Amino acid sequence: MELGDGNTQTILFPNLPNTTHTYINAGNFNVTLTVTTNNGCTTSHSQILLLALNFGRLCI
């Protein structure tokens, strides 16, 4: 998974399906999830994540 801030994470399903990430700054981040099957087939989905600063806290 590309997190839009220069960081990436690998999710190993079904063994480790949950992940977390902390963004340090507010902004727009283009997050992309790429899934690869055991047969080597891949598909991707991207979503823009908008994080706004609200009274000193990051909010989605």
Listed by start position, the domains of the chain span: 1-53
CA distance 30 to 25: 14
Residue 2's Cβ-count burial label (10 Å; 0-12, 13-18, 19+) is middle
Q: Which residue has the higher pLDDT, 15 or 6?
A: 6
SS (H, E, C) 17-28: CCCCCCCCCCEE
Give this prediction's pTM.
0.72
Query: 38 — alpha (psi -120 to 50), left (phi > 0) or beta?
Result: alpha
| pLDDT digit string, tens, across residues 11-47 | 877 777 778 888 888 899 999 999 988 899 999 999 9
